Structure 1
Amino acid sequence: MASTSSCLASPATAAAAPRLRVRVTPRAGRVVACSAGGGGGPEAAGLFAGERKAVGGLACGVLAAWAVASSSSPVIAASQRLPPLSTEPNRCERAFVGNTIGQANGVYDKPLDLRFCDYTNEKTNLKGKSLAAALMSDSKFDGADMSEVVMSKAYAVGASFKGTDFTNAVIDRVNFEKADLQGAIFRNTVLSGSTFDDAKMQDVVFEDTIIGYIDLQKLCTNTSISADSRLELGCR
């Protein structure tokens, strides 16, 4: 059966790093945290050997390349004025096509206005889509399969992603302020330059998540992250 979406009622610097270091949490599921750094010292010395070190270095290289490519365009602030809600009748279905132009810089041919759309339990049509600069505030993605999506500079303030699967996705400069991310899955997901202020993050899965060290520090300030997830992240 084909999946459909519906619209709800609507109201009126990253820098190039000379050296990268990798930290892995002592669990089966790990978080690769990358940070720019020069010297050696105890933190950098003897981290990992062999295959695990190689995998971590590759992951950090990917994250660094993405960060440099996107550093000129920061996250959209919650206080920023947004355009009027689109009157296009099928605007919610446009997420099933996505944007394919300039996702690294949030440049697009036509804005994806997905505000107040309902994609609850959508399991097919969002996978692998590019949602560059999508306006997603107050939308519902609960239980949706958003694996392998590229969300670059998306605005998801107040959106609901309860149990959403972001496996293998690239989440770059997304504003998740006050979003509901309870039980969301960030498995092998790149998290770059995104904000989670006042977001609900109980029982979020961070398995093999690739995240910059500064972004990790900011993420760990969210007090709603459960104890198991904080351990998985390596929050101090």
Structure 2
Amino acid sequence: MEIKETEKYIPSKMVTLSTPLSHNSLSSPELSTKRHGCPLHQPMLPPLSTELNRCERAFVGNTIGQANGVYDKPLDLRFCDYTNEESNLKGKSLMAALMSDAKFDGADMSEAVMSKAYAVGASFKGTDFLNAVLDRVNFGKANLQGAIFKNTVLSGSTFDNAQLEDAVFEDTIIGYIDLQKLCTNTSISAERRVELGCR
């Protein structure tokens, strides 16, 4: 196989260290909290999709490699607005969807299946998740005020710093460890904490 000129391997610059690496140098606070100026706990997301109809892809959903969140191209719904969407999101599979900063306020997402979705900072005010499966969804800093999680499966999903005022958790199916993590969210009202079974 002949390699074209543009495909030839070009070695990157070599870096030499003035001091040998040790376990202690790798665990220094500076290295453990930053990578190229970014905190390590924040994922490196791909650039925003330039696909013209990327927001409409949610109405089709995706099912590629749903068990592992593997896809040929990401379902990029970042910054899309689905406010009061009444039917097009119902029952959709949104696997490994990038949903940060999107708006789903008042949307009907009943029976939707979301696995390994990244919904940090998204807004789901009053969203109906009736009978939905929310598996390993990151709802960090999301606005879920008044969201309805009735008979919803919440497995491995996280709600760090999410706004959960008036969220309904009636008959929610959630594991013990996930419940303990959810119960640490101080925005859940006393009534809803009882509904969830928080201690």
- The interval holding the TM-score normalised by the smaller chain is 0.7 to 0.9
1:102 deviates by: 2.2
Q: Does 1:96 align with 2:59?
A: yes
Q: Secondary structure at the match of 2:67?
A: helix
Q: Distance in 1 between matches of 2:67 and 2:132?
A: 13
Q: Distance in 1 between matches of 2:41 and 2:131?
A: 26
1:126 deviates by: 0.3
Q: Deviations over 1:128-163 (max 9, x none)?
A: 100000000000000000001110000000000000
Q: Distance in 2 between matches of 1:109 and 1:182?
A: 33
Partner of 1:180: 143
**Root-mean-square deviation over aligned CA pairs:** 1.0
- % identity of equivalent residues: 85
Higher relative contact order (CA 8 A, sep 6+): 1
Q: Secondary structure at the match of 1:118?
A: coil
Partner of 2:156: 193
Q: Against the structure 1 CA distance between its residues 78 and 91, is the aligned structure 2 distance closer, same or farther, given a 3 Å change threshold?
A: farther
TM-score, normalising length: structure 2: 0.79
Runs of 4+ in 1 over 3 A off after TM superposition: none
Q: Distance in 2 between matches of 1:198 and 1:175?
A: 11
Q: Distance in 2 between matches of 1:100 and 1:174?
A: 16
Among candidates 123, 132, 148, match of residue 95 of structure 2: 132
Q: Distance in 2 between matches of 1:145 and 1:137?
A: 18
Alignment-mate amino acid for residue 120 of structure 2: V
1:78 deviates by: 5.8
Q: Which runs of 5+ in 1 are unaligned?
A: 1-76
Q: Which runs of 5+ in 2 are unaligned?
A: 1-39
Which entry has the higher C-alpha Rg, 1 or 2? 2
Alignment-mate amino acid for residue 48 of structure 2: L
Q: Deviations over 1:189-209 (max 9, x none)?
A: 100001100000001101111
Q: Distance in 1 between matches of 2:90 and 2:73?
A: 20
Partner of 1:110: 73
TM-score, normalising length: structure 1: 0.66
Partner of 1:216: 179
